[in-house]
Structure 1
Amino acid sequence: MPHATQLYQDFPTTCWPIVYSSDYNITFIGLEKLHPFDSGKWGKVINFLREEKLITNDTIVTAREATEEDLLVVHTRRYLNKLKKSFETTENSDRWNNNGGGFHHCSGDKGGGFCAYADITLAIKFLFERVEGISKATIIDLDAHQGNGHERDFIDDKRVYIMDVYNRHIYPGDTMAKRAIKRKIELDWGTEDKEYLQKVETHVKGALNEVTPDVIVYNAGTDILDGDPLGGLSISPQGIIKRDEIVFSIARSRSIPILMVTSGGYQKRTARIIADSILNLRNLGLIGKALAETHEPRI
C-alpha cells in the first residue's frame, strides 16, 4: 500500500502544465553569488513567461514540498540523516540546491554534482506505484553531463529505458552507472548544432522504436549552451530551442506524455532561452492547458 502523500493534487484544467515554487530560487548568506549556478534561474523563467502573458499566478501549478516519508520512497534514512548534518556546514551547502528539478547526479544513497535529492527516480517510482497504466518509463537525458544518479537507481530495473547524450570528457565519468544506459551517445568537446540535433532526433526516434513507454522523463539541461563553464559543448540558443521542439514533437506524434525538468545550465542567459523554448512549444501547439482531457506533455 503506497504511503499517504500531499505531492499529488488535482488542479484546474485552466492551468498551464508548469509547476513552480518561489522556493526554487535559493539564497545562502550571499554564497550563491560565488557559485557557478544561477540560483535564481527559475524565477527569471517564470517572470519572462508572465511578461509574455503566457501565465499568471493563477494559471501555474504550485509545487509542494516532499516530506521525509516521500523521500524515503527513494532514499535511505541513513542518507537523509547525513544530508541533514551536511546542511550545517557551508562546505556542503551547494548539495542543498532545491531549484527546479533534474538532479540527475543523485541516487538513493549518494548525492553529488550539486544534486541532493533523486527527483527523477522519485517521480518515476511514484508513477509506477500510484498511476494505473504506467508501468514503463523512458528517461531522455540531454543535460551535458552523464545522468549517473538515476542510472544507478535503475541499473537492474527493466521497466526503465535510459537514453543519455553527454560530453564524454567531463564529470562524472561513472563507468558503473553507464551499464544502465540502453542508448548511449557520447559527445566530444565543442560539439555544435548540426551534429547534435541530428543525433538527438535520430536517437530519440530510435529509443522510442525500441520500447514504447507509458511516460517520458526529459532532462532538458541548458548546460549544452556555447560558453557554459561546465558543459564544454557549443550549442546555440536556437539549437536548444530546436532540441526541445524535436523531443516534444516526437512525443506528441506518438501520444506519449512527457515530464520535462530543466536541470543544469550555468549562464545568466539560460533563463531567457528556457522561456523562449516554452513559448515556442506553446506556439507550435506542443503544450497547452486541459491536460486531463488531452494528455498533453508537462513541464
Structure 2
Amino acid sequence: MALPTQLYFDVSPTCWPIVYSADYNITFMGLEKMHPFDSGKWGKVINFLRDATLITDDTIVAAREATEDDLLVVHTRRYLSKLKWSYVVATITEIPPVLVLPNCLVQRKVLKPLRMQTGGTIMAGKLAIDRGWAINIGGGFHHCSSERGGGFCAYADITLAIKFLFERVEGVSKATIIDLDAHQGNGHERDFLDDDRVYIMDVYNRYIYPGDGFAKRAIKRKIELDWGTEDAEYLDKVETHVKGALNETRPDVIIYNAGTDILDGDPLGGLAISPQGIIKRDEIVFTIARSRCIPILMVTSGGYQKRTARIIADSILNLHNLGLIDKSLAARETQNPMVELMM
C-alpha cells in the first residue's frame, strides 16, 4: 500500500497546471557560477511569464519538497545515504568546491532545490492527468536512476512521477517518455529497463555524455543525432517519431523532457537548433499529444546558455496562443481510434 504523501492534493481550478517554487533556484556564495548550468533559469522563466501577464503568483501551483518517504518510492536507502557525503554531491553536480562544504549546507543550498523540483515533477504528473497537461518549470533530471546520480541530476524525478502515477492514480498503467534533451536519458532508461509499461523515445547527440550502452537497451525508439544537426532535419525527425511512438502504443500519460541544450551554441549539447526551432519542437509535441487526448507532463531539463530561460517562456506563451494549453479543466476524453490512425 502506498504511503501518504503531501505531493498529491486538490488544486484550485483558478490555477494554471504550472508548478514552480522560488526555492528551485540555487544560489550560494557564487558557487553556482562554477557550473555551466544557469541555476537561476527557473525563476527567470517565471518572471518572463509574469511580465507577459500569463500568470501571477496566485495562479501557479506552489511546488512542495519531496520527502525521504517520497524519494524511497524509487531510490534505495543506500543511495540517499550517499548524498549525505559532500564529495558524492560534488561529483553528481559537477561543482568541485561542494566537496569541502559541510553537508548540512549542501543539503540546504544544493539538494533542497533539487528535491523541490523533484516534488514539482511528481505534483505535475497528477495535474497532467486531472487537466490534460501540466508543466513543471524545473525538473527533468534524466541522468539519475534509483541507485546513482550524475550530470547535475541527484534525484530521479521522471521515474518518481511515473511510479507515483502507477501506484496512486486509477487508470494509469502505461506511460511514454519523450526525451528531447540533447543528452541520452540514461537514468530513467536504467529504471525502466525491464518494465513493459513504459515506452521510451530518446533523441540525442550520439557523441556526447553519457554514452550509456547498457541503458540504451531500454529505448524503444532511438534517434541518434550527429554534431550540428539543424532545424529542418531535427523537426522532421521529432514529428515523424513522436507520431510513430504513439502509433505503437497509446499511453495513459506522456512525460516530455524538453531540454533546451539543443540550442545552437550550447557548450554541452553540440546541436544547432534555433530558438524558433525549439519553440516549434514543443508545439509539435503538444499538438500531437493534445490531438490524441493524451495527458502530457513537460519538464524543462538541460540548457546551458543564459538565453534558454527566454526561449522556454516564449515556447509556453506560444503553446497558449495556439490554444494547446489553457487554464480550464480538461477532462480525459475517449480517444477516437480513427484520429489515431490519421495522425
Q: TM-score, normalised by structure 1?
A: 0.96
Task: Report deviation, 1:88.
Answer: 8.4
Task: Name the residue aligned to 2:288.
Answer: 250
> 1:287 aligned to 305, 315, 325, which one?
325
Q: How does 1:110-129 map to 2 (within 5 A)?
A: 110-129=148-167
Give per-residue Cα distances to partners, 1:118-152, cap 9 Å, x unaligned: 00000000000011110000000000000000000
Provide structure 1 residue ranges, at least 5 long, that are not aligned to the other structure. none
Contact residue 206 and residue 224 of structure 2 kept, 8 A = yes
Task: Name the residue aligned to 1:185.
Answer: 223
* Cα distance between partner residues in 2 of 1:35 and 1:68: 27
Q: 1:59 to 1:294 in 2, by over 3 A?
A: farther
Query: Once superposed, what is the RMSD of the aligned Cα atoms?
Result: 1.5
Contact residue 25 and residue 39 of structure 1 kept, 8 A = yes
Contact residue 17 and residue 291 of structure 1 kept, 8 A = no
Task: Name the residue aligned to 1:174.
Answer: 212
* Cα distance between partner residues in 1 of 2:90 and 2:211: 26
* Residue type at the aligned position of 2:272: S
1:236 equivalent in alignment to 2:274: yes
Q: 1:280 to 1:83 in 2, by over 3 A?
A: same
* Cα distance between partner residues in 1 of 2:21 and 2:324: 23
* Cα distance between partner residues in 2 of 1:91 and 1:183: 30
Contact residue 71 and residue 122 of structure 1 kept, 8 A = yes
Contact residue 214 and residue 256 of structure 1 kept, 8 A = yes
Provide structure 2 residue ranges, at least 5 long, that are not aligned to the other structure. 96-109, 118-137, 334-343
Task: Report deviation, 1:86.
Answer: 2.6
> 2:308 aligned to 270, 284, 287, which one?
270
Task: Name the residue aligned to 1:30.
Answer: 30
1:104 equivalent in alignment to 2:142: yes
Give per-residue Cα distances to partners, 1:247-272, cap 9 Å, x unaligned: 00000110000000000000000000
Matched residues, percent identical? Answer: 82
Contact residue 92 and residue 152 of structure 2 kept, 8 A = no
Task: Report deviation, 1:28.
Answer: 2.5
Give per-residue Cα distances to partners, 1:8-43, cap 9 Å, x unaligned: 111111111110011110112211122100000000
Contact residue 32 and residue 39 of structure 2 kept, 8 A = yes
* Residue type at the aligned position of 1:149: G
Task: Report deviation, 1:228.
Answer: 0.2
3-state SS of the aligned residue for 2:84?
A: helix
Give per-residue Cα distances to partners, 1:37-92, cap 9 Å, x unaligned: 00000000000000000000000000000110000000000000001223787565
Task: Report deviation, 1:291.
Answer: 2.9
* Cα distance between partner residues in 2 of 1:283 and 1:121: 31
Contact residue 145 and residue 187 of structure 2 kept, 8 A = yes
* Cα distance between partner residues in 2 of 1:202 and 1:84: 44
How many matched pairs?
Answer: 295
3-state SS of the aligned residue for 1:59?
A: coil
* Cα distance between partner residues in 2 of 1:89 and 1:176: 24
Task: Name the residue aligned to 1:45.
Answer: 45
3-state SS of the aligned residue for 1:69?
A: helix
* Residue type at the aligned position of 2:29: I
1:143 equivalent in alignment to 2:167: no
Q: 1:178 to 1:4 in 2, by over 3 A?
A: same
Give per-residue Cα distances to partners, 1:267-287, cap 9 Å, x unaligned: 000000000000000001111
3-state SS of the aligned residue for 2:37?
A: coil
* Cα distance between partner residues in 1 of 2:293 and 2:192: 24
Q: 1:90 to 1:207 in 2, by over 3 A?
A: closer
Task: Name the residue aligned to 2:62.
Answer: 62
Task: Report deviation, 1:293.
Answer: 4.0
Contact residue 44 and residue 309 of structure 2 kept, 8 A = yes
Task: Name the residue aligned to 2:261.
Answer: 223
Task: Name the residue aligned to 1:134.
Answer: 172
Query: Which stretches of structure 1, 4 residues or longer, exceed 2 Å deviation after superposition?
Result: 86-97, 290-295
Moved more, 15-24 or 88-97: 88-97
Task: Name the residue aligned to 2:79.
Answer: 79
